């Protein structure tokens, strides 16, 4: 494990071989079919910002693969489909670097950059970490778990998952470890929906989370599909923006899972 200037390294490769937000035809990789590949910037600098401000970068990177193919490549992704279905791939620079190293250097993905951060974490850092490294090795290397940390999140503050056991190993997609205090993980008490529409305004996929919640409670799967519950990217923006403390993310992700199950079963027939 070594401390690394990850962004500089990525930028150097990209400057030499690709241009940010440019299109690269990777005919060979696409099995002879021309494919548009758009690059979007990935985060990675240690930050002392709280969950809400970090949320923006996490959300935008997640939404990028779908909205990016529309914005960059002018290829709209239909509901329930992936960018690859319209012949587009939009990835962050970390993935582009991994593709470059695999194709040009015959180097498999054996390590990736992990950002360790959080307001309560004193030694925030970007590290190059071998895939399979136990999380506790990384944390011990940086001085151990801070006393006031209540939760460790693997991934970003909104789409990341709480880590139950620090013996778990990093995977190829482990991009960050975030330490949150008890104060930051506290949920506000739930009250009734006041129909303020803030959840809809915040949704990067243009969904209406308050409506999806109502439809899910009514068990109306057809209406959920018609209102694109399957397009939820589980970013959690609706949950963070709701002044009534309604657990919209939990509800919409359950609705999404059930609708996708129905869609998959239908496709098999």
Interface residues with ligand SF4 (CB under 6 A) are 193-199, 202-203, 205, 207, 209-210, 232-238, 241-244, 246, 248-249, 252
Smallest gap from Cβ 192 to ligand SF4, in A, equals: 8
**Cβ distance to ligand SF4 smaller for residue 114 or 237:** 237
Smallest gap from Cβ 248 to ligand SF4, in A, equals: 6
Smallest gap from Cβ 40 to ligand SF4, in A, equals: 17
**Cβ distance to ligand SF4 smaller for residue 6 or 252:** 252
Q: Bridge-partner residues for 128, per DSSP? A: 2, 113
Smallest gap from Cβ 70 to ligand SF4, in A, equals: 16
Q: Which of 148, 152, 130 is nearest to 139 (CA)?
A: 152
- Residue reference for tokens 């399957």: 230
Tokens found for residue 2: 């070594």
Smallest gap from Cβ 214 to ligand SF4, in A, equals: 9
Q: Measure the CA–CA gap between 252 and 80, rounded to whole angstroms.
A: 15
Residue 45 backbone class (left: φ over 0; alpha: ψ -120 to 50; beta: rest)? beta
Long-range contacts: 16-20, Cβ < 8 Å, 24+?
A: 17/100, 17/104, 18/96, 18/100, 20/93
**Cβ distance to ligand SF4 smaller for residue 63 or 86:** 63
- E strand or H helix that includes residue 39: strand 36-40
**Cβ distance to ligand SF4 smaller for residue 12 or 250:** 250
**Cβ distance to ligand SF4 smaller for residue 123 or 217:** 217
């Amino acid at each position: 494990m070594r401390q690394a200037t990850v962004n500089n390294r990525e930028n150097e490769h990209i400057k030499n071989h690709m241009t940010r937000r440019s299109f690269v035809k990777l005919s060979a990789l696409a099995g002879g079919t021309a494919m548009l590949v758009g690059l979007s910037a990935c985060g990675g600098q240690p930050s002392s910002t709280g969950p809400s401000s970090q949320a923006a970068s996490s959300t935008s990177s997640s939404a990028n693969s779908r909205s990016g193919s529309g914005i960059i490549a002018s290829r709209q992704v239909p509901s329930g489909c992936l960018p690859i279905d319209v012949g587009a791939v939009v990835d962050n620079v970390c993935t582009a670097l991994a593709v470059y190293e695999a194709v040009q250097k015959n180097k498999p993905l054996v390590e990736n950059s992990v950002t360790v951060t959080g307001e309560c974490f004193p030694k925030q850092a970007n590290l190059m970490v071998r895939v399979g490294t136990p999380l506790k090795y990384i944390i011990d290397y940086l001085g151990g778990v801070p006393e006031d940390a209540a939760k460790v999140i693997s991934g970003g503050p909104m789409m990341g998952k709480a880590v139950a056991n620090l013996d778990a190993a990093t995977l190829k997609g482990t991009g960050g470890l975030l330490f949150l205090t008890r104060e930051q993980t506290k949920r506000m008490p739930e009250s009734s929906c006041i129909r303020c529409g803030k959840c809809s305004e915040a949704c990067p996929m243009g969904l209406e989370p308050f409506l999806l919640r109502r439809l899910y409670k009514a068990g109306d799967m057809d209406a959920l599909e018609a209102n694109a519950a399957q397009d939820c990217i589980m970013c959690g923006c609706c949950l963070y923006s709701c002044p009534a403390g309604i657990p919209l993310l939990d509800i919409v992700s359950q609705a999404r899972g059930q609708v996708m199950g129905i869609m998959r079963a239908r496709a098999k027939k």
